[in-house]
Structure 1
């Protein structure tokens, strides 16, 4: 506050001294022939010189010290004292000159006192104490002088000037109070902005930090990679690597996931201590880490080997000592790829080769690995020429009620038997279709089979159908799905469309709009693979969801007390949002029992049934009356 007040005064006080100097020079000039030289030249010259010295002192360029609140406060206090002394000096000189001359000269003195004091008062708006003291000093002196000397007209003039000054002081006080209130508001807003900025920076840091290890997370890793690619010059070289822990699963299986988490925490601390300043290492999920090293492959390999050595050192976790190994794959820019997708995929190929052929080693992406990518091209060629009507089929895995083990619905799963390649992994089917631009065609072909099957299933049963990220971001695909439903005559309420969490990351708005369109016709929406690391509570609130499906990786943790608590907490979260909840990956009777105890009414997994063709599904549940198929 004192600094702001001081800076405002810097704008007002030089004009104040200029006003005093000009008015004093004019008053001395009008009395030049009738008053002594000491009063018309010498005394005003001294006053004007003092004014000019003070004016130039205020006009100098401010330095850092001028922004010190204590120094600013002391300077304003000194200004108040100087103002009083200057006021006394000028009023004394003016009244001394008033002893000479006629009515015009006496009137000039009165005008000099009035105009000068009011002008100075305005200039001292942001130093109200000084303004008040100057007014009181000058006007009380002038009023007393007028009352003693007379005549009555001069007394009346003095009184009028004093009344005007009182009103002006009141206005200036209100102005100063408004200034103080404004400064306080601005100061409060500035503090709030600083706090908001600090909170935003902290949230951004937390959003890009893995809570378990303290390392950067997947989001930060890819943001940093994209930034490097955007700023990369023709001569720049850097490497992207993936590190995957070996023998980590036995640690979890033997000692429990809690000990596995503690091990990851220890490894995170080691990595943070060992990572060079120009490198980035992030936890991408589970026991997989990503690394970016600015330099050629040789340097990246040396850094990766050093970090792997830190990872391999035995770690004491509570009362046990455990050790894990690691394998790594590296790809360099620009030789291995010029975009994030290519670099990451080729580092992943190198890692895959390391884990299968050279476990525990660091493998560089090379021409040999390039050949493996040719397999991807073979998939592209096969799907481009595929007869989808003949080659695509669907199988169904039941979703059962945990109490009765009666199916309430099925999940529709894609199968591709290529004429040239044979059976192909469904994930490769979807990825290849998206890469070739046939995603909509594949989705609609599979959905048509799902509708045909739904028409043959008992009336209450539902069919869950998976939509990819590309599906839900394509308005034409959504419109075609709705058209197929309407033409089929089947109630949309028997359909559940499953979306994965990863499909929501960059396409939230389009996904929300597409899902609303499906819900408007009566279909339900399920969020699949919930809990795998991409989950967003805001997404659960904002997206039009009816169901969540807990990822199969949680099912093995039903055998642990801590795991059951975690899964029960997820179930309670879903229940609080009025969402149905299915736990996937149930493979044992104990897991099914634990799921039921945890509050799950719906489950899916190999223990209840493997995926099967429609005829086998119909035959399996042929003896169950329709009333037993209660929809969730």
Structure 2
């Protein structure tokens, strides 16, 4: 999470353009500790971007706003990732884990040669790539591509800011990250119905997948107690340290075994082979396609979408199935986000995902499979989203 720090009135601001920052590689990251809430040992650090000190672009709010205005947000985000890795690699005592943010605007572009060089040369730590909530609905295909590459390189994934937008919970089982980061707003209002619902889903997902839960924004001892009550085992915030240069963090605080807490990378998990129907058939018994069966399955899809005001619909429809298109349009009217794809096969697939809930309809020829178990529904969705990559 790119976090602004307090401005110093003693330092005059110098005018500087975003073009000059990019050309001169003038990003200097700071690093905030992430700690084990039980021991307070530092398990990793999060890289937070800063522009040149003393300039109008020193702080991330102005830095990223200037890049967005200039249409160069992707370039800036790539440079921030490069500089974070460069500084951590050069450190006398590298951290066990390095958390690096990925803006949605950067996911639609190829990785830079410099970034690939840094990763392929071998990192003395495990990188954790943080996707923001905005990434999931904005660029789902690119998200799957980058997630797959990170796993192939032996790195990990985190979903950041969980709790700000409930729609991200719908795609949580599709991404299935190693780390789930609870937004600081949940710590501030731990007793609301929204917080309880979010944390219940996160705890369930963490139990199912082995994901580590991090709480952000821990500023007091009371916040620490709340974070643990909400299910977090790691945390970050001013209670444990503000963003500083990496050489200002005492390496004796590092828990070098923290890397083994995270699930082992799974190359190919985010880019599975096969078709949606083939995947569905591995998890449920196929039946003969009948008008009644299709009608009932579509009704179940609509009901699932109607009960979730944050539902996401992903569908892939053959061009020769116009009678289904009308029903899917009715389904789409119930959803908050809709992704429609052309089917490259003689397959019809429709998925509805809501927070902690999912349902899928898959047909091929005269065979029908329906799924209401979330993990296989998520597996079918991964195949569909890879068509967007």
TM-score normalised by the chain length of structure 1: 0.36
Deviation string 1:29-86 (CA, Å, 9 cap, x unpaired) is xxxxxxxxxxxxxxxxxxxxxxxxxxxxxxxxxxxxxxxxxxxxxxxxxxxxxxxxxx
2:225 counterpart residue number: 593
Are the counterparts in 2 of residues 532 and 551 from structure 1 also a CA contact under 8 Å? yes
Q: CA 1:479–1:625 in 2, change beyond 3 Å: closer, same or farther?
A: closer
Structure 1: distance between partners of 2:112 and 2:153: 12
Q: CA 1:457–1:589 in 2, change beyond 3 Å: closer, same or farther?
A: farther
Deviation string 1:579-607 (CA, Å, 9 cap, x unpaired) is 22111011110110222244321111111
1:555 has 2:187 as partner: yes
Deviation at 1:541, TM superposition (A): 2.0
Deviation string 1:516-540 (CA, Å, 9 cap, x unpaired) is 1222111111111111125334411
User: For residues 70-89 of structure 1, what are the structure 2 equivalents within 5 Å?
Assistant: none
1:611 counterpart residue number: 243
| Structure that is richer in helix per residue | 1
2:18 counterpart residue number: 383
1:392 has 2:27 as partner: yes
Structure 1: distance between partners of 2:197 and 2:47: 28
Structure 2: distance between partners of 1:495 and 1:437: 27
1:210 counterpart residue number: none
Are the counterparts in 1 of residues 213 and 231 from structure 2 also a CA contact under 8 Å? no
Structure 2: distance between partners of 1:625 and 1:614: 12
1:513 has 2:152 as partner: no
Deviation string 1:410-430 (CA, Å, 9 cap, x unpaired) is 0000001377x4354313322
1:452 has 2:95 as partner: no
Q: CA 1:395–1:443 in 2, change beyond 3 Å: closer, same or farther?
A: same
Q: Cα RMSD over matched residues?
A: 3.0
| Structure that is richer in strand per residue | 2
SS of the residue 1:403 aligns to: coil
User: For residues 408-427 of structure 1, what are the structure 2 equivalents within 5 Å?
Assistant: 408-417=43-52, 421-427=55-61
1:462 counterpart residue number: 97
Unmatched 5+ stretches in structure 1 = 1-377
1:490 has 2:123 as partner: yes
Are the counterparts in 2 of residues 548 and 574 from structure 1 also a CA contact under 8 Å? no
Are the counterparts in 2 of residues 462 and 631 from structure 1 also a CA contact under 8 Å? no
Higher relative contact order (CA 8 A, sep 6+): 2
Structure 1: distance between partners of 2:80 and 2:150: 17
Are the counterparts in 2 of residues 416 and 426 from structure 1 also a CA contact under 8 Å? yes
Are the counterparts in 2 of residues 518 and 524 from structure 1 also a CA contact under 8 Å? yes
Deviation string 1:602-623 (CA, Å, 9 cap, x unpaired) is 1111111111112212xxx244
Q: CA 1:552–1:541 in 2, change beyond 3 Å: closer, same or farther?
A: same
1:300 counterpart residue number: none
Are the counterparts in 2 of residues 388 and 445 from structure 1 also a CA contact under 8 Å? no
SS of the residue 2:149 aligns to: helix
2:132 counterpart residue number: 500
SS of the residue 2:227 aligns to: helix
Are the counterparts in 1 of residues 160 and 183 from structure 2 also a CA contact under 8 Å? yes
User: Who wins on radius of gyration, i.e. which is larger?
Assistant: 1
Alignment counterpart, residue 175 of structure 2, candidates 543, 555, 578: 543
Q: CA 1:484–1:386 in 2, change beyond 3 Å: closer, same or farther?
A: same
